[in-house]
């Protein structure tokens, strides 16, 4: 699993990357009450806002950690947005993206680097 | 993920309430609000805090709000020069909700003013507005009232269906109070000013206490298992469900009390006398209807509509804007307050709210979204 400074995670299986928000991000948000996932077929550039996650208090954009086409969105979040709090780095995933540029993955942090980064916040 | 930011303080040093260290010790997440470093939530989070208050009792630190005494030869009649309510006939032991008006009939702030005793008027105004409010009152009523700001007092709110039983265990005489009563009460070894009121739609009390005793009273109330501390996040979602406007969002210096759906605060005798600031505009709006009016909206599909979301008619023409909105923990759907022309304001009107470019169905409903549970007789 690799991580961004904006607290998204990516896990690659073959040429498809599953993306979501980290445990830290979910905890910062508090209770998630609504998730807007992207349309399948949408083409994303790394850094694009591709999903929205809402707590009682506020809405936050979720940014694409890498470029590629959305091949699947986590439809279960529509009825169970609280999954993002319960399992942010597993069942609370947002979308699967067909990796367009594998080199972008190298620019992301590994878990150790991400945890070190969290300590600076 | 983008971080929801709060930049309202513009980097100025934050003030603290007498309970600041208690909030930190309780694990609160602190944010700048009204110039103070305030708890937005405690570790349980907004959703649980909200529902706890609806089912049990929530304790809020609202010491950032402005408390003052207005004294003078005739403070009630003097006060009527800046508000549209009937204060001359305000009975001892009662308080009233009112609005401080500018000369154009716009709302400078909304407030509570009451007569706990014979010592003038006891006034509570919004924290973010208090310096300006007291300046406006001082300017307009110079020579008629003197203002003593009660900076050495904290303010707690205890709200929820179990709040009364919790508080009455410490202050038995509070049991005979009804909604909007205000009294001096001796409890916790302190001289309190207590009103049976609040900002959640629930029964409960607002309790003014000497700052030096705030932590002890806070901890004593929290030692009751029915009570949990509640942050500003849930305070906002609770007041939104109660359909109560938030100054600086739903009300501002351009909004009249008629537009703000606060005509109840303009008493009949005052309407006839037309002797309050902006009376010509306000009386005309009462007769002819205002250009826009605050409504309550249920969002019937999609994401919650938040402040700034445009409101359109069913054909897509933009007719208004959401001034506060969010997710209702009690109703599990989006609710909002916003302004639309009166033609679109009747209950049942079908509208759209535009969230991130997408029109979503919404409907005008009767406020409050969640029924008030004020105690009107004991």
Give residue-wise pLDDT tens across range A71-85: 999 999 999 999 999
A-B C-beta contacts closer than 8 Å: 66
- pLDDT beneath 70: ranges in chain B: 4-11
Flag if B303 and A59 touch (Cβ within 8 Å): yes
How much of chain A, in percent, has pLDDT values that exceed 90? 97
pLDDT of residue A63 exceeding 60, the answer is yes
Nearest to B160 by CA among B374, B11, B377: B374
Residue A6, sorted as left (phi over 0), alpha (psi -120 to 50) or beta, turns out to be alpha
- CB-closest option in A49, A54, A62 to B304: A54
Q: Is A84 on the interface with B (CB under 8 A)?
A: no
Q: What pTM was estimated for this model as a whole?
A: 0.95
Q: In degrees, to the nearest 5, what angle opens at C-alpha B129 toward C-alphas B124 and B130?
A: 50
pLDDT value for B12: 73
Cα torsion B92, B94, B95, B101: sign: negative
pLDDT value for B3: 72
Tell me how far the alpha carbon of residue B101 is from its chain's centroid. Answer: 16
Query: What is residue B286's three-state secondary structure?
Result: helix
Residue of B1, B234, B238, B355 to mutate when probing chain A, most A C-beta within 10 A = B1
Residue of A7, A29, A30 to mutate when probing chain B, most B C-beta within 10 A = A30
pLDDT value for B8: 53
pLDDT value for B10: 57
pLDDT value for A57: 85
Tell me how far the alpha carbon of residue B78 is from its chain's centroid. Answer: 24
Phi and psi for B308 in degrees, rounded to 5?
Answer: 100, -15
């Amino acid at each position: 699993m690799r991580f961004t400074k904006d607290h998204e995670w990516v896990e690659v299986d073959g040429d498809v990357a599953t993306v979501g928000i980290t445990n830290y991000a979910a905890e910062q948000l508090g209770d998630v009450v609504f998730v807007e996932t992207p349309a399948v077929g949408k083409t994303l550039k790394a850094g694009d806002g591709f999903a929205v996650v809402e707590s009682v208090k506020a809405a936050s954009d979720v940014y694409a950690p890498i470029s590629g086409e959305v091949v699947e969105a986590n439809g279960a979040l529509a009825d169970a947005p609280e999954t993002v709090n319960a399992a942010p780095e597993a069942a609370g995933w947002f979308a699967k993206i067909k990796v367009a540029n594998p080199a972008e993955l190298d620019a992301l942090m590994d878990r150790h680097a991400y945890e070190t980064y969290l300590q600076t916040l | 993920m983008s971080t929801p930011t709060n930049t309202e303080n513009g980097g100025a040093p934050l003030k603290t309430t007498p309970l600041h260290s208690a909030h930190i010790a309780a694990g609160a997440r602190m944010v700048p609000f009204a110039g103070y470093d305030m708890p937005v939530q405690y570790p349980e989070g907004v959703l649980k805090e909200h529902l706890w208050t609806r089912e049990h009792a929530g304790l809020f630190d609202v010491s950032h709000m402005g408390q003052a005494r207005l004294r003078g030869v005739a403070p009630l009649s003097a006060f009527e020069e800046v508000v549209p309510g009937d204060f001359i006939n305000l009975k001892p032991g009662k308080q009233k909700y009112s609005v401080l008006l500018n000369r154009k009939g716009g709302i400078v702030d909304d407030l509570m003013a009451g007569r706990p005793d014979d010592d003038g008027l006891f006034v509570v105004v919004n924290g973010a507005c208090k310096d300006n409010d007291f300046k406006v009152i001082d300017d307009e009523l110079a020579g008629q009232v003197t203002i003593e700001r009660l900076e050495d007092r904290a303010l707690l709110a205890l709200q929820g269906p179990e709040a009364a039983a919790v508080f009455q265990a410490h202050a038995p005489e509070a049991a005979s109070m009804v909604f909007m009563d205000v009294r001096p009460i001796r409890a916790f070894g302190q001289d309190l000013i207590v009103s049976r009121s609040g900002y959640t739609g629930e029964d409960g009390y607002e309790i003014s206490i000497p700052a030096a005793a705030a932590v002890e009273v806070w901890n004593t109330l929290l030692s009751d298992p029915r009570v949990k501390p509640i942050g500003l996040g849930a305070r906002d979602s609770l007041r939104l469900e109660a359909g109560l406007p938030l100054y600086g969002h739903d009300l501002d210096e351009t909004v009249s009390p008629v537009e703000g759906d606060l005509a109840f605060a303009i008493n009949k005798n005052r309407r006839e006398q037309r002797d309050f600031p902006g009376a010509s505009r306000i009386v005309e709006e009462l007769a002819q209807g205002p250009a826009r009016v605050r409504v309550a909206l249920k969002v019937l599909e999609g994401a919650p509509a938040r402040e700034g979301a445009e409101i359109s008619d069913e054909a897509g023409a933009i007719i208004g804007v959401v001034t506060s909105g969010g997710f209702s923990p009690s109703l599990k759907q989006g609710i909002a307050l916003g302004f639309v022309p009166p033609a679109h304001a009747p209950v049942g009107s079908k509208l759209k709210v535009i969230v991130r470019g997408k029109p979503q169905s919404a409907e005008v409903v009767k406020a409050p979204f969640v029924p008030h549970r004020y105690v009107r007789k004991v």
